[in-house]
């Protein structure tokens, strides 16, 4: 009887130790931070030299040996061409994060799969999107039922290549220290999105507010590095959400599109004030941000030309070094 009791006590002890170990392991995974981070812009409005610009966005994000492509550009060959000119090897990319369904962020995906698989058959295995990405859209007020979300039609072709779509309903870690925000809570009345499209929701058609708009976030000891596609959720909403769910504290670097090119003076002043409160240490914004709005944000955030520049094609951000702008963006 005593032997049985001792064995039972030992078993309880081992189970308890296992639970403690698992808890510590999960805590470590949750708090993982990146050591080596480099972000290189491959598609944006501004370009120089042999690279080409477009109304679109794409960036290669390299984190501790993992390669993630954030958005895929507007035209089929832009990212492929610019990466060749810049001598950027994309064959290491296993995962793609799409910020939202718009064609200027997604059209290059299928050609990239074909191109990179010819070099590395294991390239682009997964595509990360947020809830609402494959929802139906149509033009508002036109009376037409024509589908306005091209990704619904392209999904089968992409999946036929063996690519898996992972649909995120909340903030999720896709690699150690690398996160997608998932759908962003809309706390502030930012409407950083165009009119003219309706979204199918709960059996009805409503104005498209881009519920799938998401960010790519890299946790670092210096604070989060954040990439937005267009920031259709609102840049302040996105950063509030990221600080609540992924990493609190000042934002070490904010990159991508902020969709402020047509914003009013009042909106720009409000946005700059909120970003100053949040804390943004480096700003490399392009695409739909607008050059004048970027300069307004630079002034409002008390940054300078070394810490706030246009995110032109070929510009990069390196953790521990800061922004490396192209000549045209300085």
The 10 Å CB-count burial string (b at 16+, else e) for 246-277 is: bbeeebbbbbbbbbbeebeeeebebbbebbee
pLDDT of residue 12: 53
Q: What is the pLDDT of residue 9?
A: 54
User: Cβ distance 272 to 301 under 8 Å?
Assistant: yes
Query: pLDDT digits over 196-220, tens only?
Result: 899 999 999 999 999 999 999 999 9
Lowest mean pLDDT among 12-16, 69-73, 123-127, 320-324: 12-16
Whether 18 shows a pLDDT value over 90: the answer reads no
How far, in Å, CA of 255 to CA of 210, rounded? 19
**CATH number, domain 33-329:** 3.60.15.10
In whole numbers, what is the pLDDT of the chain averaged over residues? 92
> Exposed (0-12), middle (13-18) or buried (19+): which is 134, by Cβ within 10 Å?
middle
Mean per-residue pLDDT, 17-44: 70
Q: Do residues 141 and 208 lie in contact, with contact meaning Cβ atoms separated by under 8 Å?
A: no
Lowest mean pLDDT among 5-19, 97-111, 129-143: 5-19
Of the candidates 212, 129, 219, the one whose C-alpha atom is nearest the C-alpha of residue 175 is 219
Reported confidence tier of residue 17, pLDDT bands at 50, 70, 90: very low
> For position 29, what pLDDT does the model report?
47
Instruction: Report residue 224 as tokens.
Output: 């989060």
């Amino acid at each position: 009887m005593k032997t049985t009791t001792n064995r039972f006590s030992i078993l309880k002890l081992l189970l308890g130790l296992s639970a403690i170990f698992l808890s510590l392991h999960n805590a470590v995974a949750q708090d993982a931070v990146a050591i080596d981070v480099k972000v290189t812009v491959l598609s944006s409005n501004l370009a120089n030299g042999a690279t080409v610009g477009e109304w679109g966005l794409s960036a290669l994000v390299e984190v501790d040996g993992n390669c993630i492509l954030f958005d895929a550009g507007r035209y089929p060959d832009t990212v492929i061409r610019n990466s060749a000119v810049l001598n950027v090897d994309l064959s290491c990319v296993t995962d793609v994060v799409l910020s939202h369904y718009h064609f200027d962020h997604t059209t290059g995906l299928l050609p990239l799969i074909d191109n990179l698989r010819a070099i590395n058959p294991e390239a682009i295995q997964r595509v990360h999107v947020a809830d609402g990405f494959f929802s139906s859209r149509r033009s508002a007020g036109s009376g037409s039922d024509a589908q306005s979300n091209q990704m619904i039609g392209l999904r089968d072709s992409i999946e036929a290549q063996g690519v898996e779509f992972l649909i995120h309903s909340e903030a999720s870690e896709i690699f150690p220290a690398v996160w997608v925000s998932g759908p962003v809570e809309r706390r502030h009345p930012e409407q950083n999105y165009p009119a003219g499209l309706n979204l199918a929701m709960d059996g009805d058609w409503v104005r498209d507010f881009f519920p799938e708009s998401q960010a790519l976030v890299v946790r670092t000891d210096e604070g989060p590095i954040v990439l937005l596609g267009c920031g259709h959720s609102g840049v302040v909403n996105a950063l509030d959400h990221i600080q609540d769910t992924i990493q609190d504290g000042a934002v070490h670097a904010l990159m991508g599109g902020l969709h402020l090119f047509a914003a009013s003076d009042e909106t720009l002043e409000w946005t700059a004030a909120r970003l100053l409160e949040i804390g943004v240490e480096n700003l490399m914004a392009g695409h739909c941000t607008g050059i004048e709005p970027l300069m307004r944000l630079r002034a409002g955030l008390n940054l300078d030309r070394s810490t706030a520049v246009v995110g032109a094609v070929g510009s990069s951000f390196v953790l521990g070094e800061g922004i490396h702008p192209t000549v045209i963006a300085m």
